[in-house]
Chains A and B, each alone.
Chain A
């Protein structure tokens, strides 16, 4: 049970306070970027390349200009005159805003149409004639380094092939020695496919450039408004659009999930158009454009594990081929090209590991965004949890027991992993024990044994993962050089009500509720009396934004510390008002009182009022505090997930019968909000495990660019999630919280994949790539020649 230190009235941490933001959402009063309508506003649509790799030989502007309402057609050659045709990515690569001569992927922006209405802009897009010389694209990343592959990025100085970069970590030689000496080595080739965040709200903006003031207001749907402002100033500063003249406002966001961290070409084109025309320009991306022009994941991983016959893990090795599309458009911290992939040694204690990655350019859209995932943790966790199950299968050991035998033990924390991380805290045994008890694991294994005798396919899959979130400490973590701190600014008004502003930006996480609870916890001001505001760069303190489960670990910590500064100030004022020494005062949420005489007290509201009306001489008036929090370490949430599936032996339809998720995110701020996060995250873990994948043909055409074929699971596909938690606080975080938003997305896919592979064990299946679909199971068994095998004989 969660213990609350504050009363329900104060509503601090541990209370399931109803989400403040929901009132406006359930009344249809949310304000999204497409709700912005400005005087004289124009509309932009984007013509996109139908080909994966093609020379643009002609763009016939007149064909679009002939459409009524079309005012302008903007091409790469137009932008070139202002040196706006290329822009930096967050990974210090470069990306075309609009191509001057070559389209690098299907769906790439080729020209923008500016018109007086959205309909006219779309008609202009349809009418615009573009001529291409089609070239043979590089689609398969495994062939991108072949001698006959075209050099995709001749614009990059010194670029001789289609490799973007190489990265490695760990101890290569010692790991090789461990593999050489091991009794058992297992190896699987895995693909974590290209998927899309598929947020309900697509990307979009209203760029509003004022020629008189030389000022740009950018209304946009972004998870990182401050970072975006800085990027805009870096890209357009030479035109006089410098940082103090840029205001980015992120209103309500209809889902971000990492897909709204990068700067997309559409934003820059809209800014350029507004700058050139002098009127506000709205761009709202349509569904198919959204689905097919960025991505997450797309790691091909060779995963290996070495161990003893009786089940001790000795070493792991992972080799990644990362398909980045034509540029590295990921959004990782600068020093981490593979993000946090090196967490892939998992929850297990062994001395040696080696990981390497090669990033490859192909004729596909750029991206690699961290889809509800702390920078590639999902890929890492999938690989380690799958290969751990593969090892258990190889030696005939129960996968739960194998995990117990190899877990990092509670007293080993802080634990130094072979890839260089210091895990802050954890109790993996407790989590798995609770998960096994909840699901009644032994009974399920008995049921499975019975079912196998009758040819029924039932599987049980585990995932006991460690996450790494809260980026991050300034010594290692930056984006474009800006350190990954985050900030909080609390301003308490004379009547004891407050507004607090943050550098993060909620997209459904519930910050308006949970940040207020953190402040309430520390200051005793009821959380309902605290307004939370984010997303306006003119008013909010600078911060790097909300993604990678970093808001609670960074801005949440900043809120707690800023509140503690105010509590200290309150103590001084209370001592003055009560005419006692500060040493004689004791705090309980909401008041300072005299030790041993609780009737002699001053409430926080009285103290705040005094700070404006009767503050001690020499003290600064008012009641405000700001804190920029630089975390000393990352936080390491963990979880023990168990999935039970039944598979139809004829059609191979997969039914997720049960899914138990035990999370350990340290102290929980709002149990209801946390549970909601877990439910949503698990569904977004089910998605890539069984449904979602962007599929390309050999010409680089995306084959499933609508929600008819890009299969986002619904409530119908989702099982009734069974959630629970253990609490192992982070020792270095001010409120002991670790972050919850992404654990379920990270932890669920391998649990599901492991369950399905376990169900197919009688056929001899050892691995399947996600998404695992009925049709894929058929093809797998067919290719193994076991479709008609009598599996009852195995049982």
Chain B
């Protein structure tokens, strides 16, 4: 498996990178960790003419918790977030998700930004970001703009990142109240893409009433999917069994899985329902811990 030949640049500053992207135009492709792009190139599903490697640019890999915001640089490796105990205090969901992404070698090099910018509904971080209501900073030569996660995913491998732009930062609000979050996916074997995956975040007030809920679904729709009716089914409740059942049922109805080697549409809906239930229960347990 050998890719088609391509040109390669590794700029040292963000500005240099943006200029290069502008010069090269639509034949440019950004290389971050490369763990989605390079396999596609080896199979010649992707044959970009010019790779612009961001790995030499300093300052894009920050991971920090600042009061009410978690900031993750787009070039932060999966392992940076996976290993951060500070992040795990509020967002154990990142450990849940990272452990299910491919294998340690991939996580040592694959980036969170790349995971999102690839625009693949089979990736795990998009659902997590939906549950956590992330904002994404996209930078072009004209400066930076912020896009909410709900406006980020357009279609199959399509995102809000325009030609000549680079995803630079992810910010995630740290909610006030009792917070619990969790992610799980069913996979056929370790390292597989999800048959279906569910990310949940619950915020509870002091007496245990759900004041907000975020639920994202992996690989059961053309784009990463927010399970809105499921969220609504939880907000205002004490997240009792009936509410959980209703939320899980809604998720299984609202997703759009297709039958493939991972299972039939019916099977995937059953998996979505089961995992949604389990992740709500797990997030609730964590919120109350």
Q: Using a CB–CB distance below 8 Å, which chain A residues touch chain B? A: 118-119, 122-123, 126, 286-288, 650-651, 653, 691, 695, 703-704, 706, 708-709, 711-714, 716-717, 773-775, 778-779, 782
Within 8 A of A (CB), among B260-289: 261-264, 266-267, 270-271, 274-275
Does B171 interact with chain A (Cβ within 8 Å)?
no
Chain A residue contacts of B264, Cβ below 8 A = 775, 778-779
Chain B residue contacts of A712, Cβ below 8 A = 189
Chain A residue contacts of B275, Cβ below 8 A = 651
15 CB-based A-B contacts, threshold 8 Å: A118-B2, A122-B2, A286-B1, A287-B1, A288-B43, A651-B186, A695-B261, A703-B261, A708-B192, A712-B189, A713-B189, A714-B189, A716-B190, A717-B190, A773-B188
Chain A residue contacts of B1, Cβ below 8 A = 286-288
Chain B residue contacts of A119, Cβ below 8 A = 2, 5
7 extra interface residue pairs, beta carbon distance < 8 Å, beyond A123-B5, A714-B191, A717-B190: A119-B5, A651-B271, A708-B192, A709-B261, A775-B262, A778-B263, A778-B267
Complex-state Cα separation, A704 to B270, whole angstroms: 24
Chain B residue contacts of A288, Cβ below 8 A = 1, 43
Chain B residue contacts of A711, Cβ below 8 A = 188-189, 192
The prevalent SS among residues of A at the interface is loop
Does B44 interact with chain A (Cβ within 8 Å)?
yes
Chain A residue contacts of B123, Cβ below 8 A = none
Say yes or no: A775-B190 contact (C-beta < 8 A), given A123-B5, A650-B274.
Answer: no
Does B195 interact with chain A (Cβ within 8 Å)?
yes
Question: Nearest Cβ distance between residue B16 and chain A, in whole angstroms?
Answer: 29
Chain A residue contacts of B242, Cβ below 8 A = none
Does B4 interact with chain A (Cβ within 8 Å)?
yes
Question: Nearest Cβ distance between residue A52 and chain B, in whole angstroms?
Answer: 19
Chain A residue contacts of B261, Cβ below 8 A = 695, 703-704, 709
Chain B residue contacts of A714, Cβ below 8 A = 189-191
Say yes or no: A126-B4 contact (C-beta < 8 A), given A703-B261, A778-B264, A779-B267.
Answer: yes
Complex-state Cα separation, A773 to B260, whole angstroms: 13
Chain A residue contacts of B188, Cβ below 8 A = 691, 711, 773
Q: Mark B221-249, 1 if CB is under 8 A from A, else 0.
A: 00000000000000000000000000000
Question: Nearest Cβ distance between residue A423 and chain B, in whole angstroms?
Answer: 37
Question: Nearest Cβ distance between residue A426 and chain B, in whole angstroms?
Answer: 36
Chain A residue contacts of B186, Cβ below 8 A = 651, 653, 774
Question: Which of chain B's residues has its CB closest to A121's CB?
Answer: B2
Question: Nearest Cβ distance between residue A715 and chain B, in whole angstroms?
Answer: 9
> Is the Cβ of A691 less than 8 Å from the Cβ of B2?
no
Question: Which of chain B's residues has its CB closest to A649's CB?
Answer: B274
Q: Mark B1-20, 1 if CB is under 8 A from A, else 0.
A: 11011000000000000000
Complex-state Cα separation, A123 to B5, whole angstroms: 9
Complex-state Cα separation, A703 to B261, whole angstroms: 8
> Is the Cβ of B270 less than 8 Å from the Cβ of A778?
yes
Say yes or no: A782-B4 contact (C-beta < 8 A), given A651-B186, A691-B189.
Answer: no
Chain B residue contacts of A773, Cβ below 8 A = 188
> Is the Cβ of B263 less than 8 Å from the Cβ of A775?
yes
Complex-state Cα separation, A714 to B267, whole angstroms: 25
Complex-state Cα separation, A708 to B187, whole angstroms: 12
Question: Nearest Cβ distance between residue B38 and chain A, in whole angstroms?
Answer: 13
Question: Nearest Cβ distance between residue A102 and chain B, in whole angstroms?
Answer: 26
Would you list the 10 A-B pairs with minimal beta carbon distance, nearest first?
Answer: A775-B263, A716-B190, A650-B274, A122-B2, A778-B267, A711-B189, A775-B267, A286-B1, A651-B274, A651-B271
Chain A residue contacts of B191, Cβ below 8 A = 714
Complex-state Cα separation, A716 to B266, whole angstroms: 27
Say yes or no: A123-B4 contact (C-beta < 8 A), given A651-B271, A775-B195, A779-B267.
Answer: yes
Complex-state Cα separation, A146 to B263, whole angstroms: 31
Q: How large is the interface on B (under 10, 10 to 19, 20 to 34, 35 or more residues)?
A: 20 to 34
Chain B residue contacts of A703, Cβ below 8 A = 261
Chain A residue contacts of B270, Cβ below 8 A = 650-651, 778
Chain B residue contacts of A286, Cβ below 8 A = 1
Complex-state Cα separation, A316 to B270, whole angstroms: 40
Chain B residue contacts of A695, Cβ below 8 A = 261
> Is the Cβ of B266 less than 8 Å from the Cβ of A782?
yes
Complex-state Cα separation, A570 to B193, whole angstroms: 64
Complex-state Cα separation, A706 to B270, whole angstroms: 27
Chain A residue contacts of B274, Cβ below 8 A = 650-651
Question: Nearest Cβ distance between residue B70 and chain A, in whole angstroms?
Answer: 29
Within 8 A of A (CB), among B163-190: 186, 188-190
Question: Nearest Cβ distance between residue B188 and chain A, in whole angstroms?
Answer: 6
Complex-state Cα separation, A288 to B44, whole angstroms: 13
Complex-state Cα separation, A286 to B190, whole angstroms: 23
Question: Nearest Cβ distance between residue A558 and chain B, in whole angstroms?
Answer: 41
Chain B residue contacts of A717, Cβ below 8 A = 189-190
Question: Nearest Cβ distance between residue A632 and chain B, in whole angstroms?
Answer: 44
> Is the Cβ of A778 less than 8 Å from the Cβ of B4?
no
Complex-state Cα separation, A709 to B192, whole angstroms: 8
Question: Nearest Cβ distance between residue B118 and chain A, in whole angstroms?
Answer: 15
Say yes or no: A778-B266 contact (C-beta < 8 A), given A288-B1, A691-B188, A709-B261.
Answer: yes
Complex-state Cα separation, A678 to B246, whole angstroms: 48
Chain B residue contacts of A708, Cβ below 8 A = 192-193
Chain B residue contacts of A123, Cβ below 8 A = 4-5
> Is the Cβ of A126 less than 8 Å from the Cβ of B189?
no
Complex-state Cα separation, A257 to B4, whole angstroms: 33
Question: Which of chain B's residues has its CB closest to A777's CB?
Answer: B267
Chain A residue contacts of B195, Cβ below 8 A = 775
Chain B residue contacts of A653, Cβ below 8 A = 186
Question: Which of chain B's residues has its CB closest to A286's CB?
Answer: B1
Complex-state Cα separation, A704 to B262, whole angstroms: 11
Complex-state Cα separation, A774 to B268, whole angstroms: 11
Chain A residue contacts of B4, Cβ below 8 A = 123, 126
Question: Nearest Cβ distance between residue A784 and chain B, in whole angstroms?
Answer: 14
Complex-state Cα separation, A704 to B193, whole angstroms: 14
Question: Which of chain B's residues has its CB closest to A119's CB?
Answer: B2
> Is the Cβ of A126 less than 8 Å from the Cβ of B5?
no
Complex-state Cα separation, A140 to B266, whole angstroms: 26
Chain B residue contacts of A774, Cβ below 8 A = 186, 263, 267
> Is the Cβ of A716 less than 8 Å from the Cβ of B189?
yes
Complex-state Cα separation, A77 to B139, whole angstroms: 57
Chain B residue contacts of A778, Cβ below 8 A = 263-264, 266-267, 270
Question: Which of chain B's residues has its CB closest to A717's CB?
Answer: B189
Within 8 A of A (CB), among B187-232: 188-193, 195
Question: Nearest Cβ distance between residue B96 and chain A, in whole angstroms?
Answer: 16
Chain A residue contacts of B192, Cβ below 8 A = 708, 711
Complex-state Cα separation, A709 to B261, whole angstroms: 8
Chain A residue contacts of B44, Cβ below 8 A = 126
Chain A residue contacts of B189, Cβ below 8 A = 691, 711-714, 716-717
Question: Which of chain B's residues has its CB closest to A125's CB?
Answer: B2
Complex-state Cα separation, A653 to B184, whole angstroms: 14
Question: Nearest Cβ distance between residue A775 and chain B, in whole angstroms?
Answer: 3
Complex-state Cα separation, A706 to B271, whole angstroms: 25
Complex-state Cα separation, A717 to B43, whole angstroms: 27
Complex-state Cα separation, A650 to B190, whole angstroms: 20
Question: Which of chain B's residues has its CB closest to A782's CB?
Answer: B266
Complex-state Cα separation, A287 to B266, whole angstroms: 33
Complex-state Cα separation, A361 to B5, whole angstroms: 40
Question: Nearest Cβ distance between residue A452 and chain B, in whole angstroms?
Answer: 20
Chain A residue contacts of B5, Cβ below 8 A = 119, 123
Question: Nearest Cβ distance between residue A302 and chain B, in whole angstroms?
Answer: 27
Most chain B CB within 10 A, of A119, A651, A706, A716, is at A651
Complex-state Cα separation, A714 to B189, whole angstroms: 8
Question: Nearest Cβ distance between residue A264 and chain B, in whole angstroms?
Answer: 19
Complex-state Cα separation, A704 to B261, whole angstroms: 8
Chain B residue contacts of A779, Cβ below 8 A = 264, 267
